[in-house]
Amino acid sequence: MPTDPVRAIVGEDATREVYETVYRQLGLDRPMWEQFFVYLRDVASFDFGTSIRTGQPVLQDIVHVLPATIELATFAILFGAGVGIPLGVLAAVKKDRWQDQLIRIFSLMGHSMPIFWTGMIGLLIFYAALGWVGGSGRMSQFYIGLVPERTNFLLIDSALAGEWEVFRSALNHIVLPASLLGYSSSAYITRMTRSFMLDQLGQEYVTTARVKGLSRRQTVWRHAFGNIRVQLVTIVALAYGALLEGAVLIETVFAWPGFGQYLTSNLLIGDMNAVMTCVLIVGVIFIALNILSDLLYRIFDPRTR
Amino acid sequence: MTSDPILDVQGLSLRYPGAAEPAVRGVSFTLGRERLGIVGESGSGKSTVGRAIMKLLPDAEMSAERMRFEGVDLLRASEAQMLKLRGARMSMILQDPKYSLNPIRRCGDQVAEAYRTHVRCSKRAAHDKAVAMLAAVQIRDPERVYGLYPHEVSGGMGQRIMIAMMLLTDPDLVIADEPTSALDVTVRLQVLKILDDLVKERGIGLIMISHDLNLVRNFCDRVLIMYAGRVVETLDARDLDRATHPYTRGLLAAQPRIGGPRAPLPVLQRDPSWTMEAPA
Amino acid sequence: MSETTPAAETRRRRPQSLIAAGNILRFLAKTPTSAFGLLVLAVLILTALFAPLIATHDPYLQDLTNTLAPPDSAHLFGTDELGRDIFSRLVHGSRITLTIIFLVTIVVGPLGLLVGTVAGYFGGKTDVALMRVTDIFLSFPSLILSLAFVAALGPSLNNAIIAISLTAWPPIARLARAETMTFRSADYIAAARLQGASPARIIWKSIVPMCLPSVLIRLTLNMATVILTAAGLGFLGLGAQPPMPEWGAMIATGRRYMIDSWWLVTFPGLAILSVSLAFNLLGDGLRDALDPKQMMKR
C-alpha cells in the first residue's frame, strides 16, 4: 500500500530520473516550513491544488462528492433526532422505571456498535435475506447516468427531472445506511435530551403548569420542551457534525460515492492535497454548525435577544 | 366559619419515596370561606400539605382518614378528575415568580392558558380575559405587560401576574405557598393587599403557608402551627398571644419587637416530645 | 517515633483510597448493567492473559483444505478464507485490543494532565495558547483527525495508536484544566507556594493527585470511542496489518465473503460490540456513582 505521493503518480516501475523530476515538481525537495507556507498561501486564495488520483482540482471533486454525503447525513440526523428526542423525553418522564432502563440499553447499544459492522449485518439481513431495501450505492446500477446532475443531490435532481423511478430507487438505497447512521447518533441525542428534560422537570414553572390543570403530557410538551429546544439545537448540530465521521465508514461499506469514500481512497494512496482539503472542509463544516446553532439559540430563547 | 367547609382534611400523612420519616403526620383541619394560615419553620411539612391537597406528589405515599374538597373525595379522585379541579376550582400561588413562570413564554399567554385549559373559548376571548385580570391585580398597562417575558418584569409584578393566573378561573380554594417571601419588603404589603382584596371580594378559601408569624397574624383568620410534620396548635389569629403550646410560645418570644426589651432574644428550646404528641 | 510516622501515614492513606475504590466497585456491582460491563472486561482481560491456553488452534495456521468452513465442533466460530480458526483469532485479538487500551491510556492520561494542569495553574497567556490548541483538536471529529495522522505516519498498528492518542487527549486536558482552576486558589496550594515550592512541584505533588480520579473516570468513558476508532482504522486498512488477528481488520477481510459466509464478519463484530458496550455501561455506572454534571461535558 503506497503512501508515497510520487510513487502514486509515477507508478512502481518508474526510473530514478522520472521519480526525481516529479519529486521536485511537487516541491517536496524544499524545506518543510516552506512547503507549509506555500500551502497556506494557496489555500488563502482558494487554491486547494489538484488531486493526484483524479487529476482534477480538489475543490471540483469535493463539490461533486459532498452532496451525496450531505444527503445521507441529513436523512440520518432526521432519523436520529426523530427517534432520539422522543425517547429521551420518555426516559426522563419515566425516570428509573423499566422504560428508562430499556431506553438506556437501547441507546448505549447504538453508541457501542461499530458502524461499519452494523452496516454489513444490515445489508445481510435487510438486503440479501429480506430484500426490503436497495443494496450498495445511491441507486440501482440500472439508473446511473439517467438523471442530469444539477445539484448533485440525487433526490433533488431526480425530482427535478421528473424521474420518479430513480427517485424511488434512491430513496430505497438511502434508507438503510441513513437509519443505521441515525441510530448511532440517536444514542447521544437520547442521553442529552433525557438529562436536559430531567433538569426542566424539576423546575418550579412545571409545578405552575400542573397547578393550572395541565396534564403531565401537556406540561412536558408545551412548557418543559420549549425550554430544552435551545440546548437540543446545539446537541443536534454537534451530532450532525459527528455523523460525518460515521459517514466515512458507512460509505465504504455501502459503496456510497460521497465525501467519506473520497477521503479514504485518497488517504490510502497518500493524495495529500485531497486529504488536507477534506480535513479542512470538515473543520469548516464544524465551525459553520457551531455558528448556526448560536444563531438558532437567539431565535429560540427570548432572554438572549 | 360558614356551614359547609370547602376543604375537610382528617389525619393526613405523607412520606416521600426513600425517606425514613414521614414529612407530614396526622394533619387535620377544615377550611371554610376564610383565610387559614399554616406557620412553621422550613422542613416542618407545611408546603407538603399544600401540594398533597392538590395531589401533585404522585410518587409519595399518602394516606388520610378523610380528604374532601367540596363534595369530591380527593383520596379516591382519579388524575382525570384532578385535572378538572386543578386550576379551575383549586389553585396555588408559588413562591418565586423568577422560577415559577415559564421563562420562554409571554406572561400574558401563560395567564390566558390557565383560562383556556378549563374554558372552551377563542384565543381572543382568553386574551381579553387575561388582560382584564391583569388589570384587576392593579397592573397599570396590562396590554403591554401581556406581551412581556418573565425576565422583563420585576418580582412584585411577576407575583401579581402569578396571582392573576391563579385567580382567573374563580377557584374556591387558593393555596398561597410563601407568596411574598421572595419579594422586596417594600412591595410585600402591596402584593398581599391585592391578594387579600381579591380573596375577600370573591369569597375564596385561602390557605396561606408562611414562616412569618406577623404576616399570618395580620392576614389570616385562623392559624395552624406545624412542627416536624404535625399540627401542634390551632388558634384564632387574634388569640395568637394566648398560645399555650411551648413551641408557639417559643416562636413568639423569638420575635424582635420595636420598643421591646434590649436583651438578646431567647433561643427556641426544642423538646423531642413535641413530635410524639397527638395533634392539638 | 519519627521513623514510624511516614509508615503510619501511608498506612492511613492507603486504606482510604482503597475504601473509596471498594465503595465504587460495590455500587457498580449492584447495578446490573455496570456489573455486566465489569464482567465482560474481566473476561476480556482473562482471555488476553491466557490466550494460548484458551485458543483451540494456532491463530496464524492456515489450512487451505478447510477454508470458509461454517461453525462446528472443531471450529467453534468457523474458519476464514485461509482456513484459520476464527475463534482462536478472536481470542488472540483480545491481546491487541488490550494493548491499544493500555497504550492509549498511558499516552493520553499524562499528556492531557500535563496540558490541562499547566494551563489551569498558570492561567493567562499560557492558558489561552494551550486551550486554543486544544480547541483546534476538538473541532475535528476524532476519526477524521486520526485518519489524517495515519496518512501522514503510514498505516500500522503503532501509528494507529499514536493517531488515536493524539486525538483523544483534548477532552482530558479540558477536564484537568477545569479541575485545576478550582484547586488553584485553595489555601493549601498557597501554603505550598509560600514555602517556596516550584510550580512544577506544586503541580506534580498537589494538583495532579487531585485531578487523577476524575481523569481516570473520563478515560474509562472515552475507551469505548477509542476501541471503535481503532476498529474503524483497522477496517479501513490503516490500523493493524494482516495477518494480525485485529478484530476490525478481520471484518475488513471477511467482507468479501460475507454474503455466503456470515460468520466471518459476525463474530469479530460481536466481540467489538461487547467490549465497547462494556466500557459504555461501566462509564454510565461510574457517571451515576460520581459527579454527574461534570462528566457530561465534552
What are the tens digits of pLDDT across the range B65-115?
999 998 899 998 999 999 999 999 999 999 888 899 999 899 999 999 999
Residues B94, A204: C-beta atoms closer than 8 Å? yes
Look at residue B174 and give its three-state secondary structure.
strand
List of chains touching A (3+ CB pairs within 8 A): B, C
For residues A230-241, one letter each, b for 16 or more C-beta atoms within 10 angstroms of the residue's C-beta and e for the rest, the string is bbbbbbbbbbbb
pLDDT, mean of residues A89-116: 91
Residue C1 reports pLDDT greater than 50: no
Candidates B262, B231, B270; CA nearest to B45 is B231
Distance from CA of A89 to the nearest CA of C (A): 17
pLDDT, mean of residues B42-64: 89
The DSSP result for A167-196, as a single string, is HHHHHHHHHHHHHHHHHHHHHHHHHHHHHH
Cell triple for residue C43?
Answer: 473476561
| A101/A41: higher pLDDT | A101
Give a yes or no: residue C14 inside a domain: no
pLDDT for residue B277: 52
| A146/A199: higher pLDDT | A199
Taking CB atoms and an 8 Å cutoff, what residues of chain A touch B84?
Answer: 213
State the angle between helix axes of A272-300 and A225-253 in degrees (0 to 180), rounded to the nearest 10: 160
| B243/B174: higher pLDDT | B174
Give a yes or no: residue C12 inside a domain: no
Q: How far apart are CA A131 and CA A123, in angstroms?
A: 9
B30: Cβ contacts below 8 Å, ≥ 6 apart:
B1, B5, B7, B8, B9
pLDDT, mean of residues A287-292: 82
Q: How far apart are CA B152 and CA A252, in angstroms?
A: 53
Distance from CA of A213 to the nearest CA of C (A): 32
Residue from C227, C228, C233, C280 to probe the interface with A (highest A Cβ count within 10 Å): C228
pLDDT for residue B208: 93
Nearest-by-CA chain C residue for A117: C269
Distance from CA of C136 to the nearest CA of A (A): 9
pLDDT for residue B42: 83
pLDDT, mean of residues C232-246: 89
> What is chain A's mean pLDDT, rounded?
85
pLDDT for residue C162: 92
Please check whether residue C112 is in contact with residue C170, taking contact to mean a CB–CB distance below 8 angstroms. Answer: yes
Q: How far apart are CA A257 and CA A154, in angstroms?
A: 11
Give a yes or no: residue C60 inside a domain: yes
pLDDT, mean of residues C65-82: 88
What's the length of chain B? 280
Q: Does B119 touch chain A (CB under 8 A)?
A: no
For residue C242, give Cα distances in angstroms to B165, C101, C157, C250.
72, 20, 10, 8
Per-residue pLDDT band for C172 (boundaries 50, 70, 90) equals very high
pLDDT for residue B216: 87
pLDDT for residue B247: 85
For residue A183, give Cα distances in angstroms to A77, A243, A254, B149, B173.
9, 11, 16, 37, 49
Residues C148, A275: C-beta atoms closer than 8 Å? yes
Residue A303 reports pLDDT greater than 50: yes
> What percent of chain A is helix, strand and coil (3-state, nearest 5)?
75, 0, 25
Q: How far apart are CA B101 and CA B149, in angstroms?
A: 9
Q: Which residues pair with B205 in a beta bridge?
A: B173
Phi/psi at B211 (5° precision):
-105, 5
Q: How far apart are CA B151 and CA A302, in angstroms?
A: 9
> What is chain C's mean pLDDT, rounded?
84
pLDDT for residue C17: 64
Please check whether residue B179 is in contact with residue B93, taking contact to mean a CB–CB distance below 8 angstroms. Answer: yes
Burial of B214 (0-12, 13-18, 19+ CB in 10 A): exposed
pLDDT, mean of residues A6-33: 77
Per-residue pLDDT band for B276 (boundaries 50, 70, 90) equals low
Q: Tell me the three-class secondary structure of chain C, residue by residue.
A: CCCHHHHHHHHHHHHHHHHHHHHHHHHHHHCHHHHHHHHHHHHHHHHHHCHHHHCCCCCCCCCCCCCCCCCCCCCCCCECCCCCEHHHHHHHHHHHHHHHHHHHHHHHHHHHHHHHHHHHHHCHHHHHHHHHHHHHHHCCCHHHHHHHHHHHHCCCHHHHHHHHHHHHHHHHHHHHHHHHHHHHCCHHHHHHHHCCCCHHHHHHHHHHHHHHHHHHHHHHHHHHHHHHHHHHHHHCCCCCCCCCCCHHHHHHHHHHHCCCCCHHHHHHHHHHHHHHHHHHHHHHHHHHHCCHHHHHCC
In chain A, DSSP finds a helix count (H) and a strand count (E) of 13, 0
List of chains touching C (3+ CB pairs within 8 A): A
User: Averaging pLDDT over each range in A58-67, A285-294, C99-108, which range is the top one?
Assistant: C99-108
Q: What angle do CA C275, C280, C285 make, to 5 degrees?
A: 125
> What is chain B's mean pLDDT, rounded?
87
Taking CB atoms and an 8 Å cutoff, what residues of chain A touch B91?
Answer: 211-212
Q: How far apart are CA A228 and CA B160, in angstroms?
A: 27
pLDDT, mean of residues A257-280: 84
pLDDT for residue C2: 44
pLDDT, mean of residues A275-291: 83
Task: Give the domain CATH number at C83.
Answer: 1.10.3720.10
Q: How far apart are CA B128 and CA B126, in angstroms?
A: 5
Taking CB atoms and an 8 Å cutoff, what residues of chain A touch B48?
Answer: none
pLDDT for residue A157: 84
Please check whether residue B249 is in contact with residue B222, taking contact to mean a CB–CB distance below 8 angstroms. Answer: no
Q: Does C248 touch chain A (CB under 8 A)?
A: yes
Closest in A208, A211, A226 to B104, CB measured: A226
- Cα Rg of chain A (Å, integer): 24
Give a yes or no: residue C170 inside a domain: yes
Give the Cβ contact number of residue A11 at 10 Å.
11
Cell triple for residue A214?
Answer: 395541565
Q: Does A109 touch chain C (CB under 8 A)?
A: yes
Candidates A240, A242, A241, A209; CA nearest to A225 is A209
Residue B45 reports pLDDT greater than 90: no
Q: Tell me the ipTM for this assembly.
A: 0.87
pLDDT for residue A293: 79
Taking CB atoms and an 8 Å cutoff, what residues of chain A touch C280?
Answer: 108, 111-112
Give pLDDT tens digits for B219-253: 899 999 998 888 888 988 888 888 888 888 888 88
Residue A275 reports pLDDT greater than 50: yes
Cell triple for residue A185?
Answer: 447518533
Q: What domain count does chain C have?
A: 1
Residue C291 reports pLDDT greater than 70: no
Residue from C44, C100, C144 to probe the interface with A (highest A Cβ count within 10 Å): C144
pLDDT, mean of residues C140-158: 83
Taking CB atoms and an 8 Å cutoff, what residues of chain C touch A252?
Answer: 235-236
pLDDT for residue C15: 57
pLDDT for residue C6: 47
Give the Cβ contact number of residue B219 at 10 Å.
22
For residue A97, give Cα distances in angstroms to A90, A91, A94, A217.
10, 8, 6, 17
Give a yes or no: residue C21 inside a domain: no
pLDDT for residue C5: 47
Please check whether residue B89 is in contact with residue B117, taking contact to mean a CB–CB distance below 8 angstroms. Answer: no
Please check whether residue C284 is in contact with residue C33, taking contact to mean a CB–CB distance below 8 angstroms. Answer: yes
For residue B48, give Cα distances in angstroms to A101, B24, B228, B240, C272.
30, 7, 12, 24, 51
Q: Are chains C and A in contact at 3+ CB pairs closer than 8 Å?
A: yes
Q: Does B120 touch chain A (CB under 8 A)?
A: no
pLDDT, mean of residues B24-35: 91
Give pLDDT tens digits for B262-272: 777 777 777 77
Cell triple for residue A150?
Answer: 444539477
For residue B28, give Cα distances in angstroms to A138, B207, B278.
72, 14, 11
Give pLDDT tens digits for B13-27: 999 887 888 899 989
Give pLDDT tens digits for A210-252: 999 999 999 999 999 999 988 898 889 888 888 877 888 899 9
pLDDT for residue C275: 94
Please check whether residue C117 is in contact with residue C203, taking contact to mean a CB–CB distance below 8 angstroms. Answer: yes
Residue C43 reports pLDDT greater than 90: yes
Q: What angle do CA B108, B113, B115 make, to 5 degrees?
A: 105
Taking CB atoms and an 8 Å cutoff, what residues of chain A touch B207?
Answer: none
Give a yes or no: residue C19 inside a domain: no
* Region of poorest pLDDT, from A90-99, A291-300, C213-222: A291-300
Per-residue pLDDT band for C295 (boundaries 50, 70, 90) equals very low
Give a yes or no: residue C4 inside a domain: no
Residue from C140, C225, C282, C286 to probe the interface with A (highest A Cβ count within 10 Å): C140
Q: How far apart are CA C183 and CA C198, in angstroms?
A: 16
pLDDT for residue A33: 76
For residue A247, give Cα distances in angstroms to A99, A158, A250, A252.
30, 23, 5, 8
Q: Does A97 touch chain B (CB under 8 A)?
A: no
What residues make up the domain containing C281? 30-67+74-296
pLDDT for residue C14: 52
Nearest-by-CA chain A residue for C265: A117
Task: Indicate the helix (H) or strand (E) that contains A50.
Answer: none
Q: Does B109 touch chain A (CB under 8 A)?
A: no
Residue C10 reports pLDDT greater than 50: no
pLDDT for residue A305: 64
Q: How far apart are CA C113 and CA B218, in angstroms?
A: 62
Q: Which residues pair with B90 in a beta bridge?
A: B86, B173
A107: Cβ contacts below 8 Å, ≥ 6 apart:
A84, A87, A186, A187, A190, A191
Look at residue B181 and give its three-state secondary structure.
coil
Q: How far apart are CA B87 and CA B118, in angstroms?
A: 8
Amino acid at B50: G
* Region of poorest pLDDT, from A201-205, A257-261, B225-229, C138-142: C138-142
Residue B279 reports pLDDT greater than 70: no
Residues B87, A214: C-beta atoms closer than 8 Å? yes
Candidates C286, C261, C264, C271; CA nearest to C21 is C286
Q: Does B74 touch chain A (CB under 8 A)?
A: no
The DSSP result for B199-257, as a single string, is HHHHT-EEEEEES-HHHHHHH-SEEEEEETTEEEEEEEGGGGGG--SHHHHHHHHTS--
Give a yes or no: residue C5 inside a domain: no
For residues A145-155, one letter each, b for 16 or more C-beta atoms within 10 angstroms of the residue's C-beta and e for the rest, the string is eebeeeeebbb
Q: What angle do CA A207, B28, B12 make, to 5 degrees?
A: 55
pLDDT, mean of residues A110-130: 91
pLDDT for residue A263: 87
Q: How far apart are CA B184 and CA B154, in angstroms?
A: 10
Peptide bond into C243 cis (omega under 30): yes
pLDDT for residue A34: 79
Give the residue carrying C-alpha cell 494542569. Answer: C117
Q: How far apart are CA B135 and CA B145, in angstroms?
A: 10
For residue B57, give Cα distances in angstroms to A221, B52, B66, B175, C6.
20, 6, 18, 15, 55
Per-residue pLDDT band for A287 (boundaries 50, 70, 90) equals confident
Taking CB atoms and an 8 Å cutoff, what residues of chain A touch B166?
Answer: 211-212
pLDDT, mean of residues A2-15: 70
Q: Does B231 touch chain A (CB under 8 A)?
A: no
* Region of poorest pLDDT, from A209-218, A295-304, B43-52, C174-183: A295-304
Residue C113 reports pLDDT greater than 70: yes
Please check whether residue A277 is in contact with residue A283, taking contact to mean a CB–CB distance below 8 angstroms. Answer: no
